[in-house]
C-alpha cells in the first residue's frame, strides 16, 4: 500500500523585547501549512493552519548532527515587512514541525513532530524570511570543542572555575590559572607553558 503525500504543519512563535510601556514582550504566533485544503484553512486538532509557501532544509534531530536547519517563509506581498519594521528587537522563538499523511488529516497522533528553537533570522528581504533553527540540545553547542581552545571558557570564580581566592582578574590562559593555583579546573589547551 502506498501512503498519501505528507502534509507539514508549522507552529511558529516569535518573541520580541519590550516595545510598549505595558508589556515586557510582544508575542506573535503563526500556524502555517504547505497544504491547501481548498477552503483557505486546514483545521488540525482545533488549530487553524493557513496555506503558505514554506520550505525547509536539513531537518534533523540527532544530537551529533551539528546541522544548520532552516525554515524559509515566502514574504509574499511583504507580509512580514510591517512586523519587522516595528520590531527590530527579536529575542527568540520556536518552530514546531508536525508531519501527517494527507489521507488522514483528522488523526490525533501525527506521523512525526519535533520542536526547534529559532537561533536567528539568517536573512530577511522582500522575497523571503529565513529562520535558523536548532534542537533544544543544540542550544548550548555554540563554542568549539574544549580540547581545541587555547583560552579557558570558565569565568573567574564561576561554578566550573571554582576559584575562591582574592584575585578579581583572569585572562583565561593556563599561565594565569597556574598563578592562581587552579590548573585542575583549567578547560583549555596548555599553550606556551614552560
Cα(66)–Cα(12) distance, integer angstroms: 22
Please indicate, yes or no, if residue 155 is contained in any of the structural domains.
yes
Residue-wise pLDDT for 103-136, tens only, equals 666 666 677 788 888 877 777 777 788 888 877 6
Average pLDDT estimate for 73-78: 75
Residue-wise pLDDT for 40-65, tens only, equals 788 888 888 888 888 876 555 444 44
In percent, how much of the chain has pLDDT > 90?
5
Residues in a beta bridge with 71: 56, 131
114 in the same domain as 39: yes
CB 128 within 8 A of CB 122: no
122 in the same domain as 30: yes
Please indicate, yes or no, if residue 1 is contained in any of the structural domains.
no
Range of the domain at 107: 6-140
* CB-based burial label for 116 (10 Å; 0-12, 13-18, 19+): buried
Of 2-11, 21-30, 137-146, 164-173, the one with minimum mean pLDDT is 137-146
pLDDT category at 144 given cuts 50, 70, 90 is very low
Average pLDDT estimate for 73-97: 74
Domains of the chain: total: 2
Please indicate, yes or no, if residue 194 is contained in any of the structural domains.
no
164 in the same domain as 103: no
pTM over 0.75: no
Please indicate, yes or no, if residue 128 is contained in any of the structural domains.
yes
From the CB of residue 75, how many other CB atoms can be counted at a distance below 10 Å?
18
Please indicate, yes or no, if residue 130 is contained in any of the structural domains.
yes
158 in the same domain as 70: no
From the CB of residue 124, how many other CB atoms can be counted at a distance below 10 Å?
16
Q: Which of 101, 119, 140 is the last residue of a domain?
A: 140
Amino acid at each position: 500500500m502506498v501512503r498519501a503525500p505528507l502534509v507539514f504543519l508549522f507552529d511558529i512563535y516569535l518573541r520580541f523585547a519590550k516595545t510598549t510601556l505595558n508589556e515586557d514582550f510582544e508575542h506573535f504566533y503563526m500556524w502555517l501549512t504547505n497544504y491547501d485544503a481548498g477552503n483557505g484553512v486546514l483545521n488540525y486538532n482545533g488549530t487553524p493552519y493557513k496555506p503558505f509557501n514554506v520550505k525547509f532544509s536539513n531537518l534533523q534531530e540527532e544530537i551529533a548532527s551539528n546541522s544548520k536547519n532552516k525554515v524559509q517563509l515566502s514574504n509574499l506581498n511583504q507580509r512580514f515587512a510591517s512586523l519587522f519594521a516595528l520590531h527590530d528587537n527579536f529575542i527568540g522563538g520556536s518552530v514546531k514541525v508536525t508531519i501527517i499523511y494527507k489521507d488522514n488529516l483528522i488523526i490525533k497522533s501525527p506521523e512525526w513532530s519535533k520542536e526547534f528553537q529559532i537561533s536567528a533570522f539568517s536573512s530577511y528581504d522582500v522575497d523571503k524570511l529565513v529562520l535558523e533553527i536548532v534542537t533544544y540540545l543544540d542550544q548550548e553547542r555554540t563554542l568549539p570543542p574544549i580540547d581545541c581552545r587555547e583560552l579557558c571558557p570558565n569565568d573567574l570564580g564561576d561554578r566550573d572555575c571554582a576559584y575562591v581566592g582574592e584575585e578579581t582578574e583572569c585572562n583565561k590562559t593556563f599561565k594565569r590559572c597556574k598563578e592562581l593555583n587552579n590548573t585542575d579546573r583549567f578547560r583549555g589547551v596548555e599553550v606556551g607553558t614552560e
